[in-house]
Chain A
Amino acid sequence: MSKIIKNLKQFSTSNDRFEGAHLLCPGCAHSIIVRELLNCTDDNLVIANATGCLEVCTAVYPHTSWDASWIHIGFENASTAATGAEAMYKALKNKGRLKDPDKPVKFVAFGGDGATYDIGFQFLSGAVERGHDFTYICLDNEVYANTGGQRSSSTPIGASTTTTPAGRVSYGNKKMKKDIVAIMASHGAPYVAQVAPNKWKDMVKKYQKALATEGPVFINAMSACTTEWKFPSNETIEVSDLATDSLVFPLYEIEDGHKLTITYRPRNIIPVRDYLGVQGRFKHLFKKENEYLIDEMQKTVNAKWELLQKREEAGV
């Protein structure tokens, strides 16, 4: 059952199922993304969490931030943990052993981009292919933040990370970010979407659609990382706005593997360099010898936006 999207006053008076008491960095977007998911439904929740920032900051014994059933196994297998629990739910339902068979239960897995794009990719692919009824949410901060800022296959080209540091002869990460949304849509998942916490109404709408969808759902959530993107911790939403308004991080959804809908069109599209300029990880790109990369990134963003619009129009 979906809840009404709350206004600020309602927010201030309602209980969170994800407690505010956790160890995430001040300014971390993870908590916004996660809290909205837990608060957007009254259904019972089973949550699986990959190893990563969210996990190490919310379940340090003897404390827990989760007022929901929660499990963490390892870095790679949050999808499998959630789908194993979902299989048990189906088995017990079939055998008439559920305590409250009429109340819906939703299965949700959270993983960072390292857990999703890299080490847990095979597990995620398997879980989606098998058609389990669950929602996987990738907290995409484009870096292995929990282990100290190493590149992942989600790290954008040009970003300085601890394993691709910008230096005398290097502009940082040399590889393009993997298009995880297209890959997951290609699995034929009934619902795939990209969200950002600064556009929280869009995010919550997609969450509610995801939970109402029968079958596997994949959501890629942009999570601005104050520590590794290197911006002041009180500017998370502003940086996120620059990401969505420059279309570096476009918001859209894909139904049944092909039907693409853009869900946010910025009134004023801003240049990619404005987004890059506020983050320490891209600082070196503004050196004369690297500036050509900013132009190339702008071209890539333009081409992707063009493609999304064409796909939306053509319904393919």
Chain B
Amino acid sequence: MAEKLELQEVEVWDGNMAFAQAMRQAQIDVVAAYPITPSTPTVHGYAKFLSDGYIDGEFVLVESEHAAMSGCVGAAAAGGRVATATSSQGFALMVEVLYQASGMRLPIVLALVNRALASPLNVNGDHSDMYLGRDAGWIMIDAFNAQEAYDLMLMGFKIAEDLSVRLPVMVNQDGFITSHTAQNVRPLSDEAAYKFIGEYKEVNPMLDFCKPVTYGAQTEEDWHFEFKARQHKALMDSKSVIEKVFEEFKELTSREYSVVESYDMEDAEVAIVALGSTVESAVQAARDLRENEGIKAGVVATRVIRPFPYEEIKETLKNVKAIATLDRSAPGGTLGMLYNEITATLYQGDSKPVINNYIYGLGGRDMTQEDIKEIFRDIKKNADAGTLVTPLQQFSGLRGPKLSFFN
């Protein structure tokens, strides 16, 4: 039996330690992992817990991230709780197996510490890796600080392993800004955390030899479509389970989570939609602008990225006049993901706010308070004019002449 750790009511942890502690408390059966910055301390923390007797699961030190996810798939199909951690290039190397994990409906949890994708090589935080995985059929949840990284990692196991879900879950946090910044975190006790997640529930385990199973069969035009449709339905239906788990977590800790988070949106005329640590920065900037410049600014964030919270986005943004969608990933010749998905959603609604798109923070470029305020002031012009008077897509925080597209 693994030893218990006595935790303080308030611990000072960075985002990686928050991930590692939640993984320890989940009593994972198999972790297969490979090191990559900035997620390495998650794995270091886990390894130290193992060495000190606080973990009694298997820890497989594989030779690549592709093998890390492959090992997770083999282990999860065998029948038990499984997780890994990665970032950036490592995530890119895993992509093939991400699709296989979700296709086989295996409840693996991936701790993804977001980082830019090369080239040029860059170790800092942006959302290129997160965006790369968005069609992989995983539930995608985003943490904006260390406390949320801890909370959502615990909830990730409960959501993934729910008998009506059985899909893999990736929990994101920003590289360095969240992962390496020490913050106050209020953990649960080991007993309470494990009780909340619950015992692992087996579904068609390979280690049940009374009922041999075939995992990863081939289907062609006769069955592939039905499998993928069913998988999509399971992902869409997982929203109710995610909400149920958020509710149970609130009852336990008083900490409240929603599939779409909104800040100061009751009377907001202009809103930023963002992800990651930028959400807290934007909330700060919005409050400043309300106080000092009289701009009715608010912030909206998709806590759950997949399944996409369509209804909640429509509801939350129904009264605003202008929206800035902030994408922290190079858009690759189109508009950013948040722009496309938010705009498509609101097109189905009754209100038609003016929406534009900002690409920002690539490769860890700071998003300053002034940058964010400038965006709010920008879209205030759109709100006042009732039409797009700013460029549709701009690069915020870029050195050199202003860059804009789709004008």
Interface of A with B (CB < 8 Å)? 44, 46, 48, 55-56, 59-62, 64, 66-74, 76-77, 80-85, 87-92, 94-95, 97-100, 103, 105, 122-123, 125-126, 129-130
Residues of A within 8 A of B213 (CB): 69-70
Q: List 8 A-B contacts (CB under 8 A).
A: A69-B206, A73-B216, A80-B62, A84-B60, A85-B78, A87-B71, A88-B82, A92-B29
Residues of B within 8 A of A72 (CB): 215-217
Q: How far is the CA of A87 from the CA of B209 in the complex (A)?
A: 17
- Name 15 extra pairs, CB < 8 A, besides A76-B70, A91-B30: A55-B218, A60-B218, A61-B219, A69-B206, A71-B74, A72-B215, A73-B97, A73-B216, A80-B74, A81-B70, A81-B74, A84-B76, A91-B80, A95-B29, A122-B63
Contact A77 B97 (CB under 8 A): yes
Contact B217 A61 (CB under 8 A): yes
Q: How far is the CA of A87 from the CA of B77 in the complex (A)?
A: 12
- Residue B406, interface by CB 8 Å: no
Contact B29 A84 (CB under 8 A): no
Q: Which 5 A-B pairs have the closest CB atoms?
A: A84-B74, A126-B63, A84-B71, A88-B78, A72-B216
Residues of B within 8 A of A46 (CB): 78, 206-207
Contact A67 B212 (CB under 8 A): yes
Chain B positions 201 through 224: 1 when the CB is less than 8 Å from some CB of chain A, otherwise 0:
000001111101111111110010
Those of B33-75 within 8 Å (CB) of chain A: 56-58, 60-64, 66-67, 70-75
Residues of A within 8 A of B57 (CB): 91, 95
Q: How far is the CA of A68 from the CA of B212 in the complex (A)?
A: 5
Residues of B within 8 A of A99 (CB): 207-208, 210
Contact A83 B209 (CB under 8 A): no
Q: How far is the CA of A252 from the CA of B215 in the complex (A)?
A: 34
Q: How far is the CA of A103 from the CA of B208 in the complex (A)?
A: 12
- Residue B96, interface by CB 8 Å: yes
- How many whole Å from B65's CB to the nearest CB in chain A? 11
Residues of B within 8 A of A123 (CB): 63-64, 66-67, 70
- Residue B336, interface by CB 8 Å: no
Contact B70 A73 (CB under 8 A): yes
Residues of B within 8 A of A69 (CB): 206-209, 212-213
Q: How far is the CA of A129 from the CA of B62 in the complex (A)?
A: 10
Those of B274-329 within 8 Å (CB) of chain A: none
> Which residue of chain B is the closest to A55 with respect to CB atoms?
B218
- Residue B17, interface by CB 8 Å: no
Residues of A within 8 A of B73 (CB): 71, 73, 81, 84
Contact B214 A66 (CB under 8 A): yes
- How many whole Å from A1's CB to the nearest CB in chain B? 14
Those of B71-128 within 8 Å (CB) of chain A: 71-80, 82, 96-97, 100
Q: How far is the CA of A128 from the CA of B58 in the complex (A)?
A: 17
- Residue B170, interface by CB 8 Å: no
- Residue B149, interface by CB 8 Å: no
Q: How far is the CA of A197 from the CA of B62 in the complex (A)?
A: 33
- Residue B32, interface by CB 8 Å: yes
User: Given A61-B219, A87-B30, A100-B209, is A92 in contact with B72 using a C-beta cutoff of 8 Å?
Assistant: no
Contact B80 A92 (CB under 8 A): yes
Q: Which of B29, B61, B72, B215 contacts A71 (CB 8 A)?
A: B215
Residues of A within 8 A of B32 (CB): 80, 84, 87
Residues of A within 8 A of B214 (CB): 59, 64, 66, 70-71
Residues of A within 8 A of B78 (CB): 46, 84-85, 88-89
Contact A84 B30 (CB under 8 A): yes
Contact A87 B207 (CB under 8 A): no
User: Given A59-B218, A71-B74, A105-B207, is A91 in contact with B67 using a C-beta cutoff of 8 Å?
Assistant: no
> Which residue of chain B is the closest to A49 with respect to CB atoms?
B216
Residues of B within 8 A of A70 (CB): 206, 212-215
- How many whole Å from A132's CB to the nearest CB in chain B? 8
Chain B positions 2 through 38: 1 when the CB is less than 8 Å from some CB of chain A, otherwise 0:
0000000000000000000000000001101000000
Contact A92 B217 (CB under 8 A): no
Q: How far is the CA of A70 from the CA of B209 in the complex (A)?
A: 11
> Which residue of chain A is the closest to B32 with respect to CB atoms?
A84
User: Given A69-B212, A88-B78, is A98 in contact with B30 using a C-beta cutoff of 8 Å?
Assistant: no
- How many whole Å from B98's CB to the nearest CB in chain A? 11
Q: How far is the CA of A85 from the CA of B78 in the complex (A)?
A: 5
> Which residue of chain B is the closest to A123 with respect to CB atoms?
B67
Q: How far is the CA of A99 from the CA of B210 in the complex (A)?
A: 10
Q: How far is the CA of A99 from the CA of B82 in the complex (A)?
A: 19
Contact A71 B77 (CB under 8 A): yes
* Of listed B63, B67, B208, residue having the most chain A CB within 10 A: B67
Contact A98 B62 (CB under 8 A): no
Contact B209 A56 (CB under 8 A): no
Q: Which of A60, A85, A100 contacts B217 (CB 8 A)?
A: A60
Contact B62 A126 (CB under 8 A): yes
Contact A88 B207 (CB under 8 A): yes
Q: Which of A67, A76, A91, A103 contacts B66 (CB 8 A)?
A: A76
Residues of A within 8 A of B60 (CB): 83-84, 87, 130
> Which residue of chain A is the closest to B216 with respect to CB atoms?
A72
Residues of A within 8 A of B220 (CB): 60
Contact A64 B63 (CB under 8 A): no
> Which residue of chain B is the closest to A44 with respect to CB atoms?
B209
* Of listed A72, A88, A105, residue having the most chain B CB within 10 A: A88
Q: How far is the CA of A71 from the CA of B60 in the complex (A)?
A: 19
Q: How far is the CA of A68 from the CA of B16 in the complex (A)?
A: 40
Contact A62 B207 (CB under 8 A): no
- How many whole Å from B13's CB to the nearest CB in chain A? 26
Q: How far is the CA of A97 from the CA of B72 in the complex (A)?
A: 19
- How many whole Å from B49's CB to the nearest CB in chain A? 15
Contact B74 A126 (CB under 8 A): no
Q: How far is the CA of A98 from the CA of B205 in the complex (A)?
A: 11
Q: How far is the CA of A90 from the CA of B29 in the complex (A)?
A: 9
- How many whole Å from A182's CB to the nearest CB in chain B? 20
Q: How far is the CA of A119 from the CA of B388 in the complex (A)?
A: 51
Residues of A within 8 A of B62 (CB): 80, 126, 130
- How many whole Å from A243's CB to the nearest CB in chain B? 30
Q: How far is the CA of A130 from the CA of B209 in the complex (A)?
A: 26
